[in-house]
Structure 1
Amino acid sequence: MAGRPLKPIPASAPRARRALVQRLRSLKKSSGNTCKGLAENCGLSDGVVRRALAGGHVPLWETVEKIAAACDGSGLAGLWSAAKAEEVQPGATRLGPGMVTSRAEFVESMIFMRIDGGYPPLHLLERRAGTDQDGRTRLPHSTLNLVLKKRMPPTEVLFVAFMEALEVPVSKMPAWMDAHRRVFADAPVRRPFGVPPPVVLDEPAPVNSCQAAERALSRIEVAENIKAKTGQLREPDDYDLLGLGYLNTPVPGPRWPELYDDEELAAWEADAPGGHRAQVKIGGLREELRAVLRRTQEPGASGGAAVAPA
């Protein structure tokens, strides 16, 4: 039983990935196994093997290694490293420790080290590095993530733990340490764990309450001047003094008697927008004001008495 045939490798697959997948397919064909039989020999699922042979992505090194072992193949480490480097940092050039001249090139070299080690997850590198004599993590995955994203420089202690977790040959470590000291010589020194930040002695004098109040008043004056110039701040009119608010706002009712002629009331009713909610209807405002005037003109009435709204 031949099994389902594999689809052609996508035309968009990069060159290095295409070469890796073609090599894996060649090993499968030479072994005479179907994808299901190859998966059983590798100890993997049929879906994992098919995805590795599809060419849509670079498979894990563990998957490639198991497929190669099941097909009696070898020489795939270089193909996989080239494909992974093409996927992770396209366009980057692999440099030796003596050729690294910038921080970006040094971090790219660290990524190449991770690729050569099988590109393990950061959590796995943290577990491999272990803890120091004080029980602290030597290679925190969150810090390493920031370093590999070029957001912070790696310390010498972290870089040593990184190389040890990836099992970089001991003979290559001194050259890389010299490159680290040369590239990051002017990097700011990080505070050791548990050491409080230094006390700044030239802090500005604290602001007292009187100065804060003066500043707040000055800001209020500036804001009022701006509102007055732009028309946002209005002087109170007669209706506002009576407690009725502005002409175009809901009015709660008259409080103090005032003389308004019929023309002013008619103009106000014509300008007022219809449909707004108010405690006193616009149509009855004229009659109410006239009743207030009549009561104030009666003998014995006080001209300054307050009238409750209807």
Structure 2
Amino acid sequence: MAGRPLSPIPASTHPELRALIQRLRTAKEASGKTFEALAKDSGVSESVVRRALAGKRVPLLETVEAITRACGRKEDDMARAWHAAKAEEVLPGARALGPKMVTSRAELVESMIFMRIAGGYPPLHQLEKFAGSAPDGRTRLPHSTLHLVLQGQIPPTETLFTAFMEALSMPAADRRNWLDAHRRLFADAPARRAFGQPPPVVRAEPPALTPCEAAERVLPRLEQDERIKRKTGQLKTPDDYELLGLRYLNSPAPEFQWPDEEELAAWEAEAAAQPSAKEHLDLREKLRAMIDRTEPA
């Protein structure tokens, strides 16, 4: 396996990645080391070295630096080539901007990706570990939330943005400048709900109707109900006698009749003969008398 030569760099490889792989291959050839010796001196496996020099994708920065040290080349020059290749892979066509040059929220999210590239493009769960935990025990930089932020699906809060820069070990002066840019661009962003608070329930309710629209919907239904009642005999059209409050000559007399003067006088006499309320014994006194087995006063 050690003597098997590498295949040519694929024609579809991006220019920056092609330049990086070509420099790594040149460094290996200049060192005169085989893949087995290069893997031993760099501290990585031979298969990893071969994949890094194959040119199919951008290798890890740690792998590039280890191979560069084993070949006796300068790490800074190779690291700059790696950053250019990684930026071309992750954000093709974009360019890094300073905090004062960023004018939109999308550019700030792109700047966060460039910050991650400058820090070696660590995995999100590793950034979560570097950020540590808040005083209440919760993580300061959830990798799932950070993934949504870097995808542009949710805006980054100031707390998350600060934890992100601290996890990348960004200098304090640069953090202050980027925080000013964040506050300038996300000053009117809606507040995120607190941890543990359930999301609001959104119901697909129809739009409210105007009085005219409501009447147009109700009137046909009322007319249909009226037609059904007329056909079934539950409703009849009133004639002139009924509208005037008159009854037919041969119709039976109504059930209720007003009392005459004699009946009214009898009712008044009966009411006057009833004992007054003062003459009734209080129920509490009766109960007390029954308990004490005494006659009520």
TM-score band, normalised by the shorter chain?
0.5 to 0.7
| Structure 1 equivalent of residue 55 of structure 2 | 55
| Structure 1 equivalent of residue 109 of structure 2 | 107
| Structure 1 equivalent of residue 66 of structure 2 | 66
1:192-231 equivalence runs, <5 A: 192-194=194-196
User: CA, structure 1 residues 2+189, in 2 after alignment: closer, same or farther (shift >3 Å)?
Assistant: closer
1:126-137 equivalence runs, <5 A: 126-137=128-139
SS at match of 2:96: coil
Structure 1 residue 148 and structure 2 residue 150: aligned? yes
How many angstroms apart in 1 are the aligned matches of 2:73 and 2:169? 24
**Total equivalences in the alignment:** 205
Q: Compare the two structures and name the one with the higher helix fraction.
A: 2
> Among residues 72, 76, 96, which one is paired with 1:94 in the alignment?
96
SS at match of 1:151: coil
Q: CA offsets per residue over residues 26-72 of structure 1, 9 Å max, x none?
A: 11111110112101111111111011111111001110011011112
Give the counterpart letter for 2:124 in structure 1.
L
Question: Would you identify which runs of 4 or more consecutive aligned residues in structure 1 move more than 3 Å?
Answer: 194-200
1:4-83 equivalence runs, <5 A: 4-74=4-74, 75-83=77-85
* 1:193 positional shift: 2.1
Q: What TM-score, normalized by structure 1, do the two folds share? A: 0.62
Structure 1 residue 166 and structure 2 residue 168: aligned? yes
User: CA, structure 1 residues 2+44, in 2 after alignment: closer, same or farther (shift >3 Å)?
Assistant: closer
Give the counterpart letter for 1:46 in structure 2.
E
Q: CA offsets per residue over residues 104-161 of structure 1, 9 Å max, x none?
A: 1000000000000000000000011010111010000000000000000000000000
User: CA, structure 1 residues 192+5, in 2 after alignment: closer, same or farther (shift >3 Å)?
Assistant: same
| Structure 1 equivalent of residue 287 of structure 2 | none
Percentage of identical aligned residues: 67
| Structure 1 equivalent of residue 125 of structure 2 | 123
How many angstroms apart in 2 are the aligned matches of 1:49 and 1:199? 53
How many angstroms apart in 2 are the aligned matches of 1:181 and 1:171? 16
How many angstroms apart in 2 are the aligned matches of 1:146 and 1:197? 17
Q: CA offsets per residue over residues 191-230 of structure 1, 9 Å max, x none?
A: 2224567899xx99xxxxxxxxxxxxx9xxxxxxxxxxxx
Structure 1 residue 185 and structure 2 residue 179: aligned? no
Q: What TM-score, normalized by structure 2, do the two folds share? A: 0.65
SS at match of 1:76: helix
Conservation of the 8 A alpha-carbon contact between 2:2 and 2:36: no
Conservation of the 8 A alpha-carbon contact between 2:96 and 2:114: yes
